[in-house]
Amino acid sequence: MDNTQSLEVKYPQVKDLMNETPIFWKNPDYGQPAELPFSKADIFDAVARWDRFAPFIEAAFPETARMHGVIESPLIELTKMKSAWNQAQATALAGSLYLKADSELPISGSIKSRGGIYEVLKFAEHVAMTKGDLKETDNYAILRSPEYKQLFAQYGVMVASTGNLALSVGIAASTFGFKTTVYMSRDAKAWKKAKLRANGVNVVELDTDFSSVIPQARQAAAEDPSIHFIDDEGSADLFIGYAVAAVRLQHQFKQQGIKVDRDHPVIVYLPAGVGGSPSGVTFGLKTIIGPYIHAIFCEPTHVPSVTLGMMTKLNNAISVFDIGLDGKTAADGLAVGRPSRIAGKMMRTLLFGSVTFEDPTIYKYEAQLMDTENITVEPSAAAGFTAIERAITEVPAFNTANATHIVWATGGSMMPESERLVDHDKGEALL
């Protein structure tokens, strides 16, 4: 019996993954006690660093001035979208529906503005403190001075990405003055590459899948000690940068009167590619907000890398290509065949479950969101909507009037109008 056959016997849903059949997978280890390598203190350390950098961010990126250098996205109730949803679905949604619009995050217009920019900030602070004379009590706007620009120019930042992480790291690192290089897989959109080059970023294009790009970028970075490599498959700083979202979301819950307790569950739907950003966010949600907020990951049927890794408990030791999948999806940000080294281990007891979807459905929800609420997201950012019906039918406790459902929109506001119109037309044809 080969490895795949033995996996099918041990984990019957692997067969569905192999057949590209949409599934709902409930994590059998959810809620078990666990020792985690990160803590609440790590999250608040990151919150403090973001606060220190706010004057720099406000000065360097005028679009953040209204928020005084805070990079955060709105939490938007989708009353019209919910009505349209209920007319189209067999099972009506009883609770309220919200969008966490990371698609509108400043600087890179995606969830990667959290982890990607945070890791660049942390590296810049390290260089400025160890090679310059920056103190934590300084006004960090001084990092825009010619002296610091000169210092940062002696260092490099490198990352591998299918798109949105490249935008956040590339724009932030080049703004500091770091020599910035981005390795991109064939899934990367042309407009994202053009935007990076316009910001002075060196874009290296490789005609291969994302999981093959990372080792090449990692090797290139290792050859130069002045280069900091941002590792999408295993960076602790990326992970903690994403987790800060929970502190901000808790504040938004208070502002908007959203309760979270046994009788008021909150279900959060997060698109997953390599799994780093949804895992970081989920760790934050469970650590800061508690046991009654539940995360569900959403992945394409052709690339369910985190689901496969967690289901089989092999995590990053298995790839979707190992079970015969092609790894191709219209959701470019989710086109990652092997999950991060951190995702499965951290999510073992924190992730409620996951859902896989067929590509056409994301275009449908993307168009519906535009038609009902006039909100633009990119295809992969509409993935959260694909999980709602499965969640409320498989878990009746989630479909009460007191439940709150939050779709995490991971990117989209920087999409060119031409791309948006093409995607919208595809979705309209399916509605």
> What would the mean pLDDT of 212-225 be, rounded to a whole number?
93
> Cβ of 83: how many Cβ atoms within 10 Å?
13
Residue 1: per-residue pLDDT: 33
Alpha-carbon distance 28 to 287, whole Å? 20
Residue 359: per-residue pLDDT: 95
Residue 405: per-residue pLDDT: 98
In 3D space, the residue among 10, 19, 17, 23 whose CA is nearest the CA of residue 296 turns out to be 23
Alpha-carbon distance 63 to 125, whole Å? 22
Task: Give per-residue pLDDT as tens, 30-39.
Answer: 999 999 999 9
Residue 164: per-residue pLDDT: 86
DSSP category for residue 288: I
Q: Residues for the chain: how many in total?
A: 431
Fold: same for 3-38+66-107+239-430 and 111-238? yes
Most confident of the following: 148-157, 164-173, 328-337: 148-157
Task: Give per-residue pLDDT as tens, 61-117.
Answer: 999 999 999 999 999 999 999 999 999 998 999 999 999 999 999 998 999 999 999
370-381 CB burial, b ≥16 within 10 A, e <16: bbbbebbbbbbb
CB 229 within 8 A of CB 29: no
- Count of alpha carbons within 13 angstroms of residue 329, beta-carbon side: 33
> What would the mean pLDDT of 127-132 be, rounded to a whole number?
98
CB 82 within 8 A of CB 96: yes
> What would the mean pLDDT of 254-267 be, rounded to a whole number?
98
CB 271 within 8 A of CB 411: no
CB 172 within 8 A of CB 116: yes
Q: At CA 424, angle to CA 94 and CA 307, rounded to 5?
A: 60
> What would the mean pLDDT of 130-156 be, rounded to a whole number?
98
Residue 231: per-residue pLDDT: 92
Residue 364: per-residue pLDDT: 95
Alpha-carbon distance 185 to 335, whole Å? 10
> What would the mean pLDDT of 307-329 be, rounded to a whole number?
96
Alpha-carbon distance 38 to 36, whole Å? 5
pLDDT at residue 124 above 80?
Answer: yes
Residue 2: per-residue pLDDT: 56
DSSP-H helix ranges across 19-109: 40-60, 79-88
Domain boundaries of the chain, sorted by first residue: 3-38+66-107+239-430, 111-238
pLDDT at residue 185 above 90?
Answer: no
> What would the mean pLDDT of 350-378 be, rounded to a whole number?
96
Task: Give per-residue pLDDT as tens, 41-57.
Answer: 999 999 999 999 999 99
> Across the chain, what does the average pLDDT equal?
94
Strand partners of residue 353: 26, 296
CATH class entry, domain 3-38+66-107+239-430: alpha beta
**CATH 1.10.10.60 correct for 111-238:** no
Q: Among 77-81, 142-146, 343-347, 414-418, name the one with the lowest average pLDDT.
A: 414-418
> What would the mean pLDDT of 323-335 be, rounded to a whole number?
90
pLDDT over 90, % of the chain: 85
Q: For the sheet containing 96-101, what is the strand order?
A: 24-26, 353-357, 293-300, 266-271, 404-409, 96-101, 75-77
pLDDT over 70, % of the chain: 100
Residue found under tokens 């220190």: 52
